[in-house]
Amino acid sequence: MEKLLLLAAWIGLTIGGAVLAFAWPQARYRRIRYRVDDHGLTIRRGIFWRSETFVPRTRVQHTDVVQGPLQRLFELATLIVHTAGTQDASVGLSGLSYGTALPIRDFLIGGDEEEGGV
Amino acid sequence: MSEERRLHPLSWLFATAQSVRGLIVPLIVLLLASGGSNYELLAAVFVIPATASAVLQYIVFRYQLAEDELIVRDGVLTRRERHIPYARIQNIDLVRNPLHRMLNVALVRIETASGDKPEAVIRVLSIDAIDDMRSCVFRDRRDAASQAPATTQHPRADIVLQLGSPELMRLGIVSNKGLVVVSAALGLLWQQGQWWDPEDLVEPYLDSEWVAETLSNTPVATGAIALALVVLGAILVLRVLSIAWFLVQLHGFTLRRRDGNIRAEYGLFTKISRSIPASRVQSLTAIESPLHRWFGRQSIEIRTVGGGGDDPSIGPENAAPTAKSQWLAPMVATARVPELLKEVLPQVEIEAVTWTPIAKRAWLRILRRWLVVVGGGALLVAVLSSSWTAVLVWSASGSLISLAHARLYAKHAGYSLMPWGIAFKSGWWDRTTKIVRYSKIQTIERGETPFDRRTGMASVRIDTAGAERIGHTIDIPFLDADVATAVAQRISDESSQHAFRW
């Protein structure tokens, strides 16, 4: 009897895991939004723990556009914005298309030219 | 003025001492005791290359006070020539331990406004050489300052804050640095244990029959009182050690305005002279514990970024961008805080701050959290004591304390959005007030946990510059959801408009 119970549990877990594996990224994708404007970059994300993070354009230290091998296959990229902060030292946005990530990066960096800064 | 200068002839001594700093105790043991273990011998082996490299460094190092810049040439294998324009030099800091003071030299750290590492660390220069450097570097700034009619050159007038020994004693009572002293002493004891066994001291007492008999014969009440007395005694000793610590570390703490900067000078054996440029201050925290309130004082810390931190042995090449938390005013009368802040951060007008409290129903959330802890504790008590009265006592007292804490916390927590930045205060027992200028805010995050959503609240988190992962954010929790959105928006707008400079 216990063997059947154990089997049922295993099957349940596997099915549950598979469903989660499909549903979770979809849910996560639906919840990610971003906005790029003159003020800076805003990213909204999170299913249960939701957050809206804003990086002012003037606080962007440098940016990276990163593509792993799988991402290259699908022409996707991850945009990483580096700030001088600590918890948000790098703000990442993955799932952008490569063609979109580059102009965003250029735009975010370009604003610093008048600053003189460092 | 423009001739090539070298380090002080004895600088190799200090460089060596710095390299073998960690091995000082075994070295002393080796010198004083005959033999010692192999560990001490190894230590001796390390000293020789350290001395050699220090001597080489002395031979190779050159600097020049040119017309508009400081030129530093060093490097044994890789030669390096660094030009530092005087205009970029923000401050020249000094560290002087007793050996430095005996020989009238100091370790010099030159910091510039941009970037996060010290531009140059010079070990060591004579005081005269440092004065020459100072007069060259700050010449233009001093000329500009002397044209302002109001400032006098009277040295006393430049003092912003001075702490005498009574203040430092109060600080010792209020803080708990005693533990630091104890752990240092324990570390030393352990080191000495290499050839002297501390167990020899304790063993006779452990085995004695007298101890065993006394322990079994004492009634519980006396035992409890004795224990309480021991604990009290320990706390007292720790506070005394804490007082001693501060009397030595912060002896003669003075905040002074010099060369257009605020400098902190302190120390009994090792004297430190450190600049606090307003632009480097990322955030400011005022701390008020009950003991502080009893004395009518506050402790003010600031977090700065840049300068390579406190470890003078790390040259600029190896310094990571460090953030350090340092004292602005270890102890200051609460009444004097506004004027002090005005001296150091002129834009911050603390008197104009009007506090907006967090959501009223926040106390329910805090209470819920604490009740979970009380519940868990009750479970533990039930398992350990199997007595219903104990569980009841624990739950009742725990719940009441949680309720009081929750209501008091919600009452005292608040934020304020000012034209120059934000302020956030929290805590009712230990009260903290944090201040960040808009120009130092890096990112703003508005967050919602599932619990937040259920109660219609949200939190706002502000990130500032730093190196460590923790301690550089200001978290404003338990705001009404729409208030959080408005606050986050306002802070975002203001931060975008205020430029960030290192």
pLDDT at A96: 92
The count of residues in chain A is 118
Name the residue ranges covered by the structural domains of chain A. Answer: 1-30, 33-109
* Percent of chain B that is helix, strand, coil (3-state, to 5): 50, 25, 25
Q: Rounded to an integer, what distance in angstroms lies between the CA atom of residue A92 and that of residue A45?
A: 11
pLDDT of residue A6: 93
CA separation, residue A115 to residues A59, B420, B466 (Å): 11, 20, 21
d(CA B493, CA B441): 11
Calculate the dihedral angle through the C-alpha atoms of B391, B394, B397, B403, rounding to the nearest 10 degrees: -100
Chain mean position to CA B388:
47
CB contact under 8 A, B495 and A59: yes
0.90 surpassed by complex ipTM:
no
| B265-271 own/partner pairs: CB under 8 Å, 24+ apart | B267/B96, B269/B97, B269/B98, B270/B95, B270/B96, B270/B97, B270/B98, B270/B100, B271/B94, B271/B95, B271/B96, B271/B97, B271/B100, B271/B101
Give residue B408's pLDDT. 95
- Residue A8: phi, psi to the nearest 5? -60, -45
Please report where in the chains the tokens 């930045």 appear, as a residue: B421
Taking an 8 Å cut-off on Cβ atoms, the answer to whether A59 and B444 are in contact is no
Joined together, the tokens standing for residue A9 give: 């549990």
Reduced to 3 states (helix: H, G, I; strand: E, B; else coil), residue B478 is strand
The percentage of chain A sitting over the pLDDT mark of 70, rounded to a whole number, equals 93
Residue A118, chain B, CB below 8 Å: the answer is yes
Give the separation between CA B482 and CA B446, rounded to whole angstroms: 11
B502: part of which helix (H) or strand (E)?
none
pLDDT given at position B221: 73
**Paired strand residues for A77:** A96
Chain A: nearest CA to B495, how far in angstroms?
A: 7
Of B403, B428, B427, B415, which Cα lies nearest the Cα of B358?
A: B415
CA distance linking residue B174 with residue B230, whole number of Å: 20
Task: Give Cα A47 distance to the centre of its chain.
Answer: 13
Q: Which CATH topology does A33-109 take? A: PH-domain like (2.30.29)
Q: Rg of the Cα trace of chain B?
A: 28
Mutate: best of A35, A44, A52, partner B, most B CBs <10 A: A52
CB contact under 8 A, A54 and B468: no
Q: Do B496 and A57 touch (CB under 8 A)?
A: yes
Q: pLDDT class for A16, splitting at 50, 70, 90? A: very high
Q: Would you say the C-alpha torsion B407, B414, B480, B460 has a positive or negative sign? A: negative
Determine which helix (DSSP H) or strand (DSSP E) holds B467, and give its type and residue range.
none
* Residue B75 token pair: 């490097």
The answer to whether the beta carbons of residues B478 and B410 sit under 8 Å apart is: yes
Other CB atoms within 10 Å distance of the CB of residue B150: 4
Give the nearest partner residue to A91 out of B305, B443, B470, using CB atoms.
B443
Q: Would you write out chain B's pLDDT as a tens digit for each of its 502 residues?
A: 578 888 888 888 888 877 777 666 666 666 666 555 666 666 667 777 788 888 888 888 999 998 888 888 888 888 888 888 888 787 788 989 888 889 999 999 887 765 556 678 888 899 999 988 888 887 776 666 555 444 444 555 588 899 999 999 999 998 888 888 888 888 777 766 655 565 666 666 666 666 667 666 667 777 788 888 989 998 899 999 999 999 999 999 999 887 677 889 999 988 998 888 888 888 999 999 999 999 999 999 998 876 544 444 444 444 445 567 788 899 999 999 999 998 888 888 888 889 999 999 999 999 999 999 999 999 988 888 888 888 899 999 999 999 999 999 999 999 999 999 999 999 999 999 999 999 999 999 999 999 999 999 999 999 988 766 666 789 999 999 999 999 999 999 999 998 887 6
* Helices and strands (H and E) in chain B: how many: 17, 21
Distances from the Cα of B444 to the Cα of A46, B79, B464, angstroms: 16, 44, 9
Spatial separation of the C-alpha atoms in residues B53 and B317, rounded to whole Å: 17
Q: What pLDDT score does A23 carry? A: 92
Segment holding B68, helix H or strand E: none
Q: What single string gives the DSSP state of each residue in B345-361? A: STT--GGG---EE--TT
> Sign of torsion, CA B376 B380 B385 B387?
positive
Contact (CB<8Å) A51/B445: yes
Q: Do B448 and A54 touch (CB under 8 A)?
A: no
Contacts with B493 from chain A: Cβ below 8 Å: 39
Pairing of strands B89-96, B80-85: unpaired
Task: Show which residues on chain B lie within 8 Å of chain A, measured between beta carbons.
Answer: 114-115, 305, 323, 441-450, 453, 461, 463-473, 488, 492-493, 495-496, 499-502
Residues B356 and B99: their CA atoms lie apart, in Å, by: 53
Q: Which of B116, B282, B442 to mutate to test the interface with A (most CBs of A within 10 A)?
A: B442
Chain B touched by A108 (CB under 8 Å): no
Decide: helix, strand or coil at residue B220: helix
Task: List A residues 27-86 in contact with B (Cβ-Cβ < 8 A).
Answer: 39-40, 46, 48-59, 83-86
Query: Tens digit of pLDDT for each residue in A71-92?
Result: 999 999 999 998 887 777 788 9
- DSSP state, B394? H
Chain A hits for B323, Cβ within 8 Å: 86
A19-33, A43-57, B268-282, B438-452: least confident range: B268-282
Q: How far is B104 from chain A (nearest CA, A)?
A: 36
Q: What is the CA radius of gyration of chain A?
A: 20
From chain B, the residues in CB contact with A86 under 8 A are 323, 463-473
Q: Min CA distance, B447 vs chain A (Å)?
A: 4
Q: Is A24 helix (H, G, I), strand (E, B) or coil?
A: helix
Q: Do B492 and A48 touch (CB under 8 A)?
A: no
Give the length of chain B. Answer: 502
Q: Say whether B109 sits in a helix, a strand or coil.
A: strand
Q: B184 vs chain A: nearest CA distance in angstroms?
A: 31
Query: Beta-carbon neighbour count of residue B496 at 10 Å?
Result: 20
